Chains A and B, each alone.
Chain A
Amino acid sequence: MIEVQNLTVDYGPTRVLHGVSFNVAEGESFALVGESGSGKSTILKALAGQVPDWSGAMRLAGADLGKRRDASLVRRVQMVFQDPYGSLHPRRTVDDTLAEALVIHGIQGRDAKVLAMLDAVGLARRFRFRLPHQLSGGQRQRVAIARALMLEPQVLLLDEPTSALDVSVQAEILNLLKGLRTEKRLTFLLVTHDLPVVSFLCDRLGVLRSGRLEEVSPVSALRAGQLTSAYGQELITRSG
């Protein structure tokens, strides 16, 4: 579903990704873990089309990613951002935010679709016309997830979707994501530094260190504490 070949990204003179390659199968949930600055978010941004200057090859759902994105691609891949306080437009109600995608793509039946999506992400219908500042962090993140799912994408890019939330709310959002994944047969690419989240939500993980992929392992190896690379073991020790 996602193929990344030899992806290299430069921010000015600094190279932040050194030829990273990995594949994610359809319906799989793949995690990229690493410290801040390891380049894990950059991979996500490159896939999302927010990095202008990259080289290598990326394929999403069988389509080559070029410098320009077309509408069909947008409907296949969407993203959930890290900070639910910054990812929602402060002047647009939940309804505006969710209906946005439908308006852009000229999809009919807005009311029904918005209400159905609110139910799907577990937001009460009375929140429909609230503004973001009238919602809690967890509720906001539900809205952000709902927005990403409005176009019924096959791939969801998750940029530390729970790191800005309270611990109790984190569990709710993780359960929601897990449920949505089975229900809608989504492919996840998750970026996080939180190893418990990986073992809860993912099938495989890739360990990133200073822009290089150190190893790719099944999540069972993480649970058993048997990552092959020394750096992977170090991460386990530190989070343990």
Chain B
Amino acid sequence: MATVAWLLDENPETRMQAQLGQGYRLARALARNPLAMVGLAIIVALLVVAAFAPWLAPYSAVDGDLANRLAPPSAVHWMGTDELGRDIMSRIIFGARITLYIVLLVAVIAAPLGLVIGAVSGYFGGFVDRVIMGVTDIFLSLPRLILALAFVAALGPGIENAVIAIAITSWPVYARIARAETLTIRGSDYIAAARMLGASHARVIGVHVLPLCMSSTIVRVTLDMAGIILTAAGLGFLGLGAQPPLPEWGAMISRGRTFILDQWWVATMPGFAIVVVSLGFCLFGDGLRDVLDPRQRVKG
């Protein structure tokens, strides 16, 4: 228990101890929220499944057994087989990789991009702000899936292009958040003090403004993960995302649509996977939002 005391020390001696202590308090606060923990468990499960897909999947994701096509869920095939006799559970397990790949890539591209654009816009204000927010509004006013569709149609179908298209359509939300946060802090004394110390605009934005926009953006990204998964699945459903035989969940639903009345499991199982993972990100995002408030940080 010495470590815990060390972590919770009110008077840390080094920078590292102070930061680890903050992290530990955050984790403890998060652990007290059962729903957030359910969300976290789902996300961790997704990560584990994606990482160990070849060992976890009982069958191949692409090779089918045509003699055994459209088999209902049974002890042999827990989630049944699809129209080419492929084991649906194995395909969902491998599909976790694709989903994770899309979600992470979109988050890595869109969130920082939107953050920086929004912070720059809010910090400088005036003409810069009007131009940037004008562009942002144009993007926001278009339905996300339709815009993504247009980009994929222009770039060509495929996961990479789907990722790019979703990223291009999702940054304006983060730009709006970052701008709103920046507007509330740009006139504060600590920003004036930093400027007085000689900090450049880039440093003020990067070191002083962005960290304050971070928590609301992280929360928003986690909550948006569900939307990203759905958009990716939507593109897959329309045949513009991952291409066959890749086991993308949206594309799997699309294939199962033909048999939805007689062989319900073909479309339902991947749909179920989408729901569970989306729910996981939503719950975790909600929990994060409760915790990532600096005024609650002291409570251990």
Contact = CB atoms under 8 A, between A and B. Distances in A.
Interface of A: 48-50, 69, 71, 74-75, 78-79, 81-83, 86-93, 95, 100-101, 104-105, 126-127, 129-131, 133-134, 144, 147-148, 150-151
Contacts of A48: 192, 196
B212 interface: yes
Interface of B: 10-15, 17-18, 188-190, 192-199, 203, 207-208, 211-212, 294-295, 297-298
A166 B47 CA distance: 53
B294 A129 contact: no
Contacts of A133: 294-295, 297-298
Residue from B17, B193, B295, B298 with most neighbouring chain A CB atoms (10 Å): B193
A49 B196 contact: yes
Contacts of B212: 89-91
Given A104-B203, A133-B295, A134-B298, A86 B189 contact: yes
B197 A100 contact: yes
Secondary structure at the A interface, as helix, strand, loop or mixed, is: loop
A48 B191 CA distance: 13
A11 B18 CA distance: 44
Nearest to B198: A74
A148 B194 CA distance: 10
Contact of B193 (A69, A81, A95, A134): A81
A100 B194 contact: yes
Contacts of A49: 195-196
A93 B211 CA distance: 13
B197 A74 contact: yes
A150 B83 CA distance: 72
B13 to A, nearest CB: 8
A129 B298 contact: no
